Chains A and B, each alone.
Chain A
Amino acid sequence: MTSRLDSAERIDSRSEEPAPALAGAPPSPGSRRWYRPILRWLDRRTHVLLVIPGVALLLGIVAYPVGFNVWNSFTDRNLSFPTSAWVGLANYERVLTDAAFFSAITRTLVWTFTSVAGQLLLGFIGAIALQAVRRGQGPLRLGLIIPWAFPSIVLAYSWKFMLDPIVGVVNDVFMRLGLIDQPVAWLGTESTAMPAVVAMNIWFGFPFMMVALLAGLQTIPVEHYESARVDGANFWQELRHITLPGLRHVIGALVVLRSIWVFNNFDFVYLTTGGGPIRATETLPVYAFQIGWTNYDIGRMAAVSVAMLGVLVVIVAVYLKVLRVDKED
């Protein structure tokens, strides 16, 4: 190990003071005396000093806008006008009397719940089947999860193309199967838009669930299944009494985490339908964005954001509890 150390940074065993390495190259002995105590004082605080730049950045780029947002929610700030005035709770009043806000909440819950449930169900079936097949687990896991890292616009547009009313392959397949008589504008019809976007989200998320659940399955001791088999348990009993209890924590963490992401998801909905047709897919993030960005009504958007934040604080509190993020090692 010693060979890794630069001699300049090693304590001279005869000297009482360690030479700080803060300045990079060590200064010449005569000129460094006066600031050595300062450097040593700083060096003892290395850890906190290392954290400061990042924290400052988060405060500036994330926390400040959020605070600014809360402030805005009490003003009539609008991107089209340079000035703004204090309006008290008027924005909240407008939001809470807007029927679109409440239907956006309902749609967000439907979107979140059905997406996560679908992802979990398909992921669970896939994990169990992959475990059974045994062969090719590595390449399959890898191949299926890679699209997770693709830009959301690629994923959204590949689906938009498939669901296109004029050239879409989905219409072709469904017509061949006799499920529909004529082409359907999946993303342009009120009744089919939300199911179509949810289907896309399930498609996006289930491989992730599958890989995570497969990892969970592999932590269940084989002996549990063997003794169940000796006791004459059938598959359903094994599933009920061994597999599901064994996966309980994994499933809990996955559901909470995925729910937060899906709840927050703006890209998929915005890039496929833009919230339409006639608000049929307008979830809370899209609703907030339409007000703030499309209508430039920042004050009212801020009020929506604060309301959204309230819902999220509850979810995050659960999240911190479930994952116990502060547990050391």
Chain B
Amino acid sequence: MATAIADAGTGRARARRPRRRGDRRRRIVGYAVLSPLIGFAVFPLLWMAVSSVKTPDELYAFPPTWIPDGVDWGFYRRVLDGTQFTDFMVNSAIVGIGSTAIVVVMSAMAGFGLARGGFPGRLFVSRSVLVAYVFPTILYAVPLFTVISGIGLAGTYPGIILVHVAFNFPFCTWLMMQYFRSLPKEIEEAGRVDGLTHVGIFVRLAVPLAAPGLATTAIFGFINSWNEFLLSFVILGGGERRTLPVGIYNFVGSEVADWGPLMAATTLAVIPTLVLFLFIQRRITGGLTGGAVKG
């Protein structure tokens, strides 16, 4: 490992300097270090996708075949026709869209209020929002279940949507606050001069100007809701409203997992994320490293 650092570092230093003797070698070393890392990063999910199109005979053989004999959609057919997978997907979509619509509005409001407001306690609120963001879900999941079931919303769409809104709210607010802060204040001051009320400035100026931020927030909000496991697991249990992660978890009943349909199901589960990312290609890296998805 130490050699790897040394070699990579030599190559890395080269990137900063004008072209000189030995550059070629350094670049080759860079590739040599990077390739296994990329292979490591890509392999598990690639293997999942490849395995999902194998035939049952091929999948359950050991040693496994590295390149499938052909593409067989049998596992997908079994997942889509033989299980409740599509129901779970619909549930996830309803919960995701519903909670995202609400959380975007609420976080835009709160984000603007915190970014531009001068009221006492503003700092305390923005800190609390951040603490709520890093607060471990496990610490409130089970007591939250007693609260939600106490008001009769356990296992229902409104219940889980409410929970997902709260789950997503801290980060979305943080994201919107950053966007509103990045807008030039002069525009709002000009709005004031032109006689806009504070509400008018928010609705007529700030929100339209922050539209790209709203779109990004909505996409990450949806993805977070789509991925969320623990709260959905506790609130929805084994009921009809199970979201996709909970539904997939319940696929594994017996000791020996049915890997074929499972790999088809997990492969299908990432497609919405990939499709959504097509819309915000340029903002993905920044959004993800900024913490937009809970990891």
Q: How many residues of A sit at the interface, in one of the four size bands?
A: 35 or more
- Report A-chain residues with C-beta under 8 Å of the C-beta of B165: 57, 61
Chain B 19-52, CB-CB to A under 8 Å as 1, else 0, gives 0000000110111011001101110110110010
B163 contacts A by Cβ under 8 Å: yes
**Which one of B67-75, B77-85, B265-273 is at the A interface?**
B265-273
Decide if the interface of chain B is mainly helix, strand, loop or mixed. helix
Please determine whether A158 and B266 come into contact, CB atoms closer than 8 angstroms: yes
Distance in Å: Cβ of B123 to nearest Cβ of chain A:
5
Asked if A309 is at the interface (CB within 8 A of a chain B CB), the reply is: yes
The docked-state distance in angstroms from the alpha carbon of A200 to that of B218 is 29
Assuming the contacts A130-B34, A215-B289, asked whether A47 and B266 have C-beta atoms less than 8 A apart, the reply is no
B30 contacts across to A, CB distance below 8 A: 129-130, 132-133
Contact A132 B14 (CB under 8 A): yes
Whether the Cβ atoms of B227 and A150 lie closer than 8 Å is yes
Q: Which residue of A lies closest to B252 (CB)?
A: A157
Instruction: Specify the chain A residue showing the minimal Cβ separation from B147.
Output: A65
A146 at interface by CB-CB < 8 Å? yes
Within 8 A of B (CB), among A156-189: 157-162, 164, 166-167, 169, 171-172, 175, 183
CB A220 to nearest CB in B, in angstroms, measures 8
Query: Residue A89 at the B interface, CB < 8 A?
Result: no
A264, B143: Cβ atoms under 8 Å? no
Q: Per a CB cutoff under 8 Å, which of A55, A124, A298 touches B142?
A: A298
Structural contact, B31 and A133, CB atoms closer than 8 A: yes
Contact A148 B295 (CB under 8 A): yes
Nearest A residue to B10, CB-CB: A235
Is the Cβ of A225 less than 8 Å from the Cβ of B17?
yes
**B62–A20 touching, CB < 8 Å:** no
Task: Enumerate chain B residues within 8 angstroms of A301, measured Cβ to Cβ.
Answer: 142
How far is it, in angstroms, between the C-alpha of A281 and the C-alpha of B233 when the chains are bound?
20
Q: CA of A100 to CA of B190 in the docked complex: distance in angstroms?
A: 63
Also in contact, A69 and B139, with CB within 8 A (given A55-B125, A58-B169): yes
Of A20, A122, A152, A305, the residue contacting B229 (CB under 8 A) is A152
Q: Which residues of A from 267 to 315 have beta carbons under 8 Å from B?
A: 267, 271, 285, 288-289, 292-293, 298, 301-302, 305, 308-309, 312
Residues of B within 8 A of A222 (CB): 16-17
Interfacial residues of chain B within 205-228, with CB under 8 A of chain A in the complex: 205, 208, 223, 226-227
Residues of A within 8 A of B15 (CB): 131-132, 134
* Chain B residues within 8 Å of A61, by CB: 140, 144, 147, 162-163, 165-167
B169 and A260 form a contact (CB under 8 A): no
Q: Which residues of A contact B293 (CB under 8 A)?
A: 148-149
Task: Decide: B202 and A58 in contact? CB cutoff 8 A.
Answer: no
Inter-chain CA distance A158–B230, complex, in Å, is: 19
Contact in complex: B138, A1 (CB < 8 Å): no
Residue of B nearest to A163 (CB): B44
The distance in angstroms between the C-alpha atoms of A321 and B261, with both chains bound, is 47
CA distance A5 to B27 in the complex (A): 56
> In whole angstroms, how far apart are the Cα atoms of A51 and B29 in the complex?
53
Contact residues in B for A267 (Cβ distance below 8 Å)? 229-230
Are A266 and B289 in contact, with the CB atoms below 8 A? no
CB distance from A230 to the nearest CB of B (A): 11
Which residues of B lie under 8 Å from residue A22 when comparing CB positions?
A: 197, 199
Whether the pair B269, A153 counts as a contact (CB closer than 8 A) is yes
Asked if A30 CB lies within 8 Å of chain B CBs, one says no
Chain B hits for A150, CB < 8 A: 45, 227, 269-270, 273
CA distance A146 to B81 in the complex (A): 29
In whole Å, how far is B112's beta carbon from the nearest beta carbon of chain A?
6
Q: Which residues of chain A are within 8 angstroms of B229 by Cβ–Cβ distance?
A: 151-153, 267, 271
Beta-carbon contact of B34 and A50 below 8 Å: no
When A61-B163, A260-B134 are in contact, do A1 and B256 touch as well, CB less than 8 Å? no
A142 to B283, CA, bound (A): 10
**Pairwise interchain contact B13-A238, C-beta atoms closer than 8 A:** yes
What is the chain A residue whose CB lies nearest that of B293?
A149
- Does B101 make an interface contact (CB < 8 A)? no
A158 to B33, CA, bound (A): 25
- A9-B195, A145-B285, A167-B59 known; A162 and B126 CB under 8 Å? no
Whether B12 and A167, one on each chain, are in contact in the complex, defined by CB atoms closer than 8 angstroms, is no
Q: Which of A48, A131, A134, A316 contacts B131 (CB 8 A)?
A: A316
Contact A50 B109 (CB under 8 A): yes
Task: For A296, give the chain B residue with the smallest CB separation.
Answer: B142
A47 and B277 contact, Cβ closer than 8 Å, known pairs A129-B33, A151-B244:
no
A324 shortest CB reach to chain B, Å: 11
Within 8 A of A (CB), among B237-271: 244-245, 248-249, 256-257, 259, 262-263, 266, 269-270
Q: Which residues of A contact B (CB under 8 A)?
A: 1-2, 4-6, 9-12, 18-22, 43-51, 53-55, 57-58, 60-62, 64-66, 68-69, 72, 79, 121-122, 124-126, 128-134, 140-155, 157-162, 164, 166-167, 169, 171-172, 175, 183, 203-208, 210-212, 215, 217, 222, 225-226, 229, 235-236, 238-239, 243, 257, 260-261, 263-264, 266-267, 271, 285, 288-289, 292-293, 298, 301-302, 305, 308-309, 312, 316, 319-320, 325-326, 329
Q: Can you list 10 A-B contacts with CB-CB less than 8 angstroms, sorted by A residue number?
A: A50-B112, A65-B143, A125-B5, A128-B9, A132-B12, A158-B44, A158-B45, A161-B47, A211-B289, A222-B17
Task: Name 15 extra pairs, CB < 8 A, besides A51-B114, A161-B48, A212-B289.
Answer: A5-B194, A19-B197, A46-B197, A47-B112, A61-B167, A65-B146, A134-B27, A145-B285, A153-B249, A154-B266, A161-B257, A263-B136, A267-B230, A316-B134, A320-B127
Of all A-B residue pairs in the complex, the 9 with the closest CB atoms, nearest first, are A47-B117, A11-B195, A132-B11, A61-B166, A132-B30, A50-B113, A46-B198, A264-B136, A65-B143
